[in-house]
Amino acid sequence: MALPSYTETRYRIWHYIYIAICTFVFFFLIAPLFVIFPLSFNAEEFLVFSEGMKNLDPDAFSLRWYKDMVYGTKNPWGLAAKNSFIIAIFATIGSIILGTLAALGLSSRHMPYKGLIMATLISPMIVPLIISGVAIFFFMAKAGLAATHTGIVLAHIILGTPFVVITVTATLSGFDHSVTRAAASLGSNPVNTFMKITLPLILPGVISGGLFAFVTSFDEVVVVLFLAGLENTTIPIQMWTGLREQLSPTILAVATCLILLSTLILVSAELLRRRSERLRGINR
Amino acid sequence: MSSETKQILTTDGIPLEVSLKKAEKKNKIRAFLLVAPLLLFLIITYIFPIGEMFMRSVDDRMVTNMLPKTFKAMEKWENLEELPSEEVYRAFYEDYKLLVENQQHGKLGQRLNKEKNGFNTITKKLFRQIKRKKIDESASLKEQINKIHKRWRNVEFWQAIKRTAPPYTAAKYLKGVDMYLAADGSIAQVDEDRRIHRILWLRTLEIAFFVTLFCFFMGYPIAHLLATLPMKYSNLLMICVLLPFWTSLLVRTASWMILLQQQGIVNDFFVMIGLVADDNRPEMMYNKVGTYVAMTQILLPFMVLPLYSVMKTISPSLMRAGKSLGGTPFVAFWKVYFPLTIPGIGAGCLLVFILAIGYYITPALVGGASGTLISNQIAFHMKTTLDWSFASAMGLMLLTGVLVIYWIYNKLVGVDNIKLG
């Protein structure tokens, strides 16, 4: 952002103020995440930087809390991680199937009451989570699914489908429908056309919607707090309990792992977005 | 020329119009069938339960079902300032005896106690008299019941029973805004020192408004920078926005809890630059400050992303044109660039506002007592007091507010224009 040489001094000053503000905001956004890294390697129990850490003394750092996270006898993280992954994977599969089908229907120009149906389908994203939590809890309690994995998976499908519907609808908006007609005219049946033609083209949208659904489920705590029993504890619930009771360095070790996971998801989402834009021929 | 000759026929002899309509209908059904599974699923597991919340919030049929004879007899009770007739007393006695036999009388006492303080005591006294078989059913029940406790002779308690007669009530909604139905049926305010809910509503609005404002003032410059920088730099900076966006909410809240604690880094920094004394570190967590700071950082990406997607479409030549026509950079920005970004501002602000107004986790962890919002109150009634009908009523009041905002959002921006990532 070099300024042209003829810029007047006062605009020059404004420009530097602008850059300073932007730097501050970027710092504000990203810096909090980086506090967690060093503190999770703290050899001591306190959540502050010890003198040893400030002097980069190797003895002040340790993997103690990571060991505690994995091997700690009283730690529920193993069960929580297992539950979280099982629930998130099934919720993602459910969201992808239901969401993609619905998006295909919604993108058809023959769809009646499109606006109303779209509003209904993405309502779980708009309604505050606490209200969704109360409503879903009432349903699951009545259906006898409270405190079961099935109940939580269904709840997360409700919360995850709007993301799939939105991303797949967006992918389909640039979709050239003549290719499916071409396939049909060449004698392909609808299922075959979908599997061979449509699906590969909309796949980036489906997967990125799936990533959203996965993260939503993996990170969801409000609804799970209403639904989960002791057996269905998840990582977010354990973190929530830990943060409420006592902030221990083990939580920071878990948090570090979660940041690494989200970095992985961010990279895949970015790659998918670019691939999708390339496939749809959007050039920037 | 007759109408038949005008008709175009397909090869199999059916009029083209009919054939097209048939195909159209088939396509409609096919599209609908694709949407149907998700729509049905959501209606059953989500939309109906929200309707059930409404039923639960206004439902007051418990008493209506418990005292059917009483309410029937009370229809004839005309002068409400005088004690009801023997008939009403007898009907109430019969209803209550049935409840005692089914061991439901405790629930009635508790419910009536909510309507009028002190009711539980006198229904328990009546219960004991019935258990000891001290009531002579052939004599006047009015005299006998009145003798049990002086409150039975107080007409206000009978009025309280009558008030519970309607099967539906708006009492929970009134309670949500610190009002109640007074004895004479009018709506009254609760005492000033007990108006906690109105404070919570106002605080929720205040926090949501200021968080939106902070997000806007912080998000606008960086969205602009991201949209105007060359791709290779902006992609790198975009990570600063997207990484927090994809990171667990609890992780981000945890990092703020570490930063803002009294011995935390922010306080260390303030001490270092001499802003505060080391022995007088300010409390920045468990109050409004913590809620503001953490929520702003957490919701900022939701402001930046819609702004960015709008700014990306604005051609830089427009600004150059504005400047070349004699505008200073400020005028060019204000008259040309800013108006073009208004759709993005609307989208970002409404998105952040809707999310902030229903926030629960972050305020509960860093908010303390003065930073909690309406959602925390709903959760409190769901989990601690178990007053589910009140929680439902408050939830629906919040939902109504959000839907109004959503409706405006839809009018201004269109739901289809929501962009993710």
Counted residue by residue, chain B has a size of 421
Secondary structure class of B179 (helix, strand, coil): strand
Higher pLDDT, B413 or A193: A193
- Identity (one letter) of the amino acid at A115? G
pLDDT of B133 over the 70 cut = yes
Q: Residues for chain A: how many in total?
A: 284
In a domain, A73, yes or no: no
The count of domains in chain A is: 2
- What ipTM was reported for this prediction? 0.86
Q: Give yes or no: residues A172 and A34 share one domain.
A: no
A55 in a structural domain:
yes
pLDDT class of A161 with cuts at 50, 70, 90: very high
B32, B235, B245, B251: best to mutate for the A interface, most A CBs within 10 A? B251
CA dist B34 to B8, B72, B115, B215, B401, Å? Answer: 33, 52, 51, 39, 32
Measuring CA to CA, which residue among A157, A173, A3, A40 is closest to residue A87? A157
Q: Is B331 on the interface with A (CB under 8 A)?
A: no
Least confident of A94-98, B232-236, B293-297: B232-236
Rounded to a whole number of angstroms, the distance from the CA of B353 to the nearest CA of chain A is: 11
Indicate if A174 and A247 belong to the same structural domain.
yes
**Closest-approach residue (CA) in chain A for B31:** A105
What chain B holds in terms of domains, given with CATH numbers, is 3-58 (no CATH), 61-167 (no CATH), 198-417 (1.10.3720.10)
Whether residue B88 lies within 8 A of chain A, CB to CB, comes out as no
Residue A133's alpha-carbon distances to A181, A219, A224, A229, B99, in angstroms, are 43, 14, 8, 15, 35
In this structure, the answer to whether residues A49 and A140 fall within a common structural domain is: no
Which CATH number do you get for residue A137?
1.10.3720.10
Looking at the complex, report in whole angstroms how far the Cα of residue A153 sits from the nearest Cα belonging to chain B: 12
B150 vs A60: which has the higher pLDDT: B150
Of all residues in chain B, what percent carry a pLDDT higher than 90? 19
Q: Do A196 and A254 sit in the same domain of this protein?
A: yes
pLDDT at A12 over 80: yes
In this prediction, residue B183 has a pLDDT band, given cuts at 50, 70 and 90, of: low
Beta bridge partners of B59: B168
CA distance to B21, B71, B82, B310, per residue, from B156 (Å): 69, 16, 9, 64
Question: Are residues A148 and A264 both part of a single domain?
Answer: yes
- Same domain, residue pair A270 and A133: yes
- pLDDT score for B184: 67
Query: What's residue A282's pLDDT?
Result: 52
- A104 part of a folded domain: yes
In a domain, residue A30? The reply is yes
Closest partner CB to A111 (pick from B31, B53, B228): B31
pLDDT band at B417 (very low <50, low <70, confident <90, very high): low
Yes or no, beta carbons of B31 and A128 under 8 Å apart: no
The verdict on A48 and A83 lying in the same domain is no
Residue A52 structure tokens: 């040893």
| Residue A255 at interface with chain B, using a CB cutoff of 8 Å | yes
pLDDT above 60: residue A74: yes
Question: Is residue A137 in some structural domain?
Answer: yes
Give residue B143's identity as a one-letter amino acid code.
E
Task: Give the closest of A32, A263, A273 to B421, CB-based.
Answer: A273
Token pair of B217 as six digits: 């003032």
Tens digits of residue pLDDT in B192-202: 777 888 889 99
Note whether A47 and A120 are same-domain residues: no
- Per-residue pLDDT, averaged over B358-385, amounts to 86
Residues 171-230 of A with CB under 8 A from B: 208, 212, 215, 218-219, 221-222, 225-226
A25 near B CB under 8 A: yes
Question: Are A170 and B399 within 8 A, CB to CB?
Answer: no
How far apart CA A146 and CA A26 sit, in angstroms, is 42
CA distances to A213, A258, B250 from A268, rounded to whole Å, are 14, 15, 22
CB pairs under 8 A between A and B: 263
Residue range(s) defining the domain that contains residue A28: 23-62
Residue A47, pLDDT > 50, answer yes
Question: Strands (DSSP E) along B163-206, which ranges?
Answer: 179-181, 187-189
The answer to whether residue A6 is domain-embedded is no
Q: pLDDT digit string (tens) for A142-158? A: 999 988 999 999 999 99
- Answer whether residue A13 is part of any domain: no
Same domain membership, residue A89 and residue A48: no
pLDDT at B279: 78
A154 in a structural domain: yes
Element (H, E) at B191: none
Q: What is the pLDDT, as a whole number, of residue B194?
A: 79
Of A210-219, B162-171, B217-226, B357-366, the least confident: B162-171
> A102, B251: Cβ pair inside 8 Å?
no
The confidence score (pLDDT) of residue B421 equals: 42
How many C-beta atoms lie closer than 10 Å to residue B406's C-beta? 18
Q: Does residue A51 sit in the same domain as residue A186?
A: no
Same domain, residue pair A108 and A181: yes
**Whole-number mean pLDDT of chain B?**
85
Residues of B in contact with A155 (CB under 8 A): 45
For the cut 80, the answer to whether the pLDDT of residue B389 exceeds it is: yes
* A98 and A209 part of one domain: yes
List alpha helices for chain A, DSSP H.
9-40, 51-54, 64-71, 77-107, 114-121, 123-126, 129-143, 149-173, 178-185, 190-193, 199-219, 222-227, 235-245, 249-279
Q: What is the pLDDT of residues B57-75, one digit of tens each?
A: 888 888 888 888 888 888 8
